[in-house]
Structure 1
Amino acid sequence: MLDISVPPRQGVGNKKTRSVAGIWLRAIVDTPKDTRPDRTMEKTNIERFDEVAAQILSALYETFPRPTHIDPKVIGVLDETPTRDDTGGVIYSEEWKELTTFANHTAKWLAEEGYLSERSGRSYSMYTLSAVGLKSLKHVDQPELGADTLGEKIKKASSDGARATTSKLVDQFFAIGAPLLAKAIGVG
């Protein structure tokens, strides 16, 4: 523990007050400033987007053509099941709420850009791959290197946690899909 005394000229007039001030300062010095995990390894928003988009695309590719509700458990980013309180209300963790919001924003953007089809319901939306999304995921980049589709590669990379590979595959998905979307709207 650090022994800190506060001299009278700094506005603390008597010895008892200086002693209390010293205890208070020791508490500040001994208390960690930031108890949160190290933020140097935290993902950027784009890295999170790539990861969540890959998980959404993978889940929808696997369940195609069935409309699917997007939540952290369905897309495989959180293995948690919300609980119920005494009145039957659903209790969600803060992480669940945050991931659900991010996943739904991601799915909504993918739908607005034409990669997914959204079916709005009363309380939540269901999603399927659009024709462009399905065609992009069924793409086989280099048949001579194997018959894995882009969808299968994304599923494998996202389940393995290969962040850099997942990001490159999501970029490839958009690169394949963009000309298809342009052609669909008569631009290309």
Structure 2
Amino acid sequence: MASEHIERFDTVATNVLKALHSKFPAAFHPTPNSIGLTDEEPVTVNGRREFSEEYDRLSTETKQALNFLIEEGFVHDRQYRIGPSHVITAKGLKALERIDPAFPAPALADM
């Protein structure tokens, strides 16, 4: 049986891939609220973003999962300085389809 931290990683990473799939082929920036981990929206007050400790923890989990997905080739970071820069790769599309068949990969991903 998978340990709790592996199960949590699986949930966060899968949510990241699903969110990227929903925007494919456009670039997207995954955040805890944009991938469905929370409804909390950080607010900007006097030029500073304010959010709860829980949001901060979820943000860290999201960044860690995203970094792993990038390093392993499931997500590509176009490294735009402004705006969203993450796109799911063919490898990511195929992996997500295996995880959840409701998210099919485009035909080109199989070539």
Q: Which among 98, 102, 105 is matched to residue 64 of structure 2?
A: 105
**SS of structure 2 residue aligned to 1:120:** coil
**SS of structure 2 residue aligned to 1:128:** strand
Q: What is the aligned length?
A: 103
**SS of structure 2 residue aligned to 1:151:** coil
Q: Aligned partner of 1:113: which letter?
A: E
Pairs within 5 Å for 1:35-114: 44-85=4-45, 87-114=46-73
Aligned-pair RMSD on alpha carbons? 2.7
1-structure distance, mates of 2:39, 2:31 = 11
2-structure distance, mates of 1:136, 1:150 = 12
1-structure distance, mates of 2:16, 2:82 = 19
Counterpart contact for 1:61–1:134, Cα < 8 Å: yes
Q: Aligned partner of 1:70: which letter?
A: P
1-structure distance, mates of 2:103, 2:66 = 16
Counterpart contact for 2:77–2:86, Cα < 8 Å: yes
**SS of structure 1 residue aligned to 2:103:** helix
- TM-score, normalised relative to structure 2: 0.77
1-structure distance, mates of 2:87, 2:94 = 13
1:103-162 Cα offsets, whole Å, 9 max, x none, are: 1110110111111111224488731111211233346x9xxxxxx83526xxxxxxxxxx
For 1:120, the equivalent position in structure 2 comes to: 79
2-structure distance, mates of 1:84, 1:109 = 29
**SS of structure 1 residue aligned to 2:33:** coil
2-structure distance, mates of 1:107, 1:93 = 21
Runs of 4+ displaced beyond 3 Å: 121-125, 135-139
Unmatched segments (≥5 aa) in structure 1: 1-42, 142-147, 153-179, 181-188
2-structure distance, mates of 1:57, 1:89 = 29
- TM-score, normalised relative to structure 1: 0.48
For 1:133, the equivalent position in structure 2 comes to: 92
2-structure distance, mates of 1:127, 1:44 = 27
2-structure distance, mates of 1:121, 1:93 = 27
Pairs within 5 Å for 1:9-24: none
